[in-house]
């Protein structure tokens, strides 16, 4: 397990995509860090409770990048030697990527991108030699790269967070939800005077909603679907899956179903699971 990774390599070779993948894997990342600050930053990160750390050092730091080798040696001498991950790609592919994005190369020189790439290759020669792992992204898609990084640096535990929520259609759809299910077809506790003041987190409302045959059938259909779908979302290296259940006001039915679905997911899903009720406490209207 590599808890301290230093990412470097050629501009345009995939380091930005790598940072996103490392964040999904639970690393605290710092991009374009001056090499001389790595030891201090590592100490601050660890004191702050971040035990998996990834720093990006590259040509964007300009003249400060010349200190990279000495900084890595100092870390190793102090017993904090990082795993050095180097990204590379062919000149042809790098040129194509720059032509698509129209970004300026950090070492832009007269003559355009091509001589800048050559200058950067020369600057990075020593770091490439000392790298623990070199990933050539010439023929990798973004998806391929994410799969590669998850395979190399994943913990074996699911990295995908499943977030289950309830909401009221009256207040709009939750923008971060990937799957939205409407439970307004279920019997509504609002029309029971004794249940109306309560929320779906109350046992009596829960018993009322779960006691109806339509609810039981719905749960019997949705649970197998989630058992099927969640591992496949995880297989696509999705970092977060939002599942939202909606009723009219978000106070009764959707709250019950969100909590019940979260309970059932917890029996088979190894990753992190969270539950939230966006509109439960707004009060009194039909839900």
Q: Could you say which architecture CATH assigns to the domain 4-153?
A: 3-Layer(aba) Sandwich (3.40)
Could you give the C-alpha distances from 226 to 201, 262, 266, in angstroms and in order? 23, 11, 11
In the predicted structure, residue 156 carries a pLDDT above the cut 70: no
Inter-CA distances, 88 with 6, 56, 133, 200, 245, Å: 14, 14, 11, 54, 45
This prediction's pTM: 0.65
Taking only the tens place, the pLDDT of each residue in 264-280 is 999 999 888 999 999 99
Tell me how far apart the alpha carbons of residues 42 and 152 are, in angstroms, rounded to a whole number: 21
Q: What angle do CA 34, 36, 40 make, to 5 degrees?
A: 100
In the chain, where the domains are located:
4-153, 161-282
Mean residue pLDDT across the chain: 92
Q: Residue 4: enclosing H or E segment and its boundaries?
A: strand 4-9
Tell me how crowded residue 53 is: count the other CB atoms within 10 A of its CB: 21
């Amino acid at each position: 397990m590599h808890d301290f990774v230093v990412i470097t390599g050629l501009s345009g070779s995939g380091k930005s995509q790598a940072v996103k993948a490392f964040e999904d894997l639970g690393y605290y990342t710092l991009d374009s860090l001056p090499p001389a600050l790595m030891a201090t930053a590592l100490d601050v990160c660890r004191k702050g409770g971040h035990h998996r750390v990834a720093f990006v050092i590259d040509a964007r730091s300009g003249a400060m990048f010349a200190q990279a080798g000495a900084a890595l040696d100092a870390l190793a001498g102090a017993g904090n030697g990082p795993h050095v991950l180097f990204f590379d790609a062919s000149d042809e592919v790098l040129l194509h990527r720059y032509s698509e994005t129209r970004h300026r190369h950090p070492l832009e020189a007269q003559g355009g991108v091509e001589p800048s790439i050559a200058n950067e290759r020369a600057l990075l020669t020593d770091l490439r030699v000392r790298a623990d792992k070199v990933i050539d992204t010439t023929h990798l898609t973004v998806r391929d790269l994410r799969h590669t990084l998850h395979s190399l640096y994943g913990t074996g535990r699911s990295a995908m967070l499943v977030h289950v929520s309830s909401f009221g259609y009256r207040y709009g759809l939750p923008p971060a939800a990937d799957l939205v299910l409407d439970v307004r077809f279920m019997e509504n506790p609002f029309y029971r005077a004794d249940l109306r003041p309560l929320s779906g987190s109350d046992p009596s409302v829960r018993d009322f909603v779960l006691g109806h045959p339509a609810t039981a059938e719905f749960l019997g259909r949705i649970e197998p679907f989630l058992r099927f779908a969640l591992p496949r979302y995880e297989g696509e290296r999705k970092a977060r899956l939002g599942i939202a259940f909606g009723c009219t006001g978000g106070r009764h039915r959707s709250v019950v179903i969100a909590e019940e679905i979260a309970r059932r997911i917890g029996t088979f899903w190894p990753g992190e699971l969270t539950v939230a009720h966006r509109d439960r406490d707004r009060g009194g209207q039909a839900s």
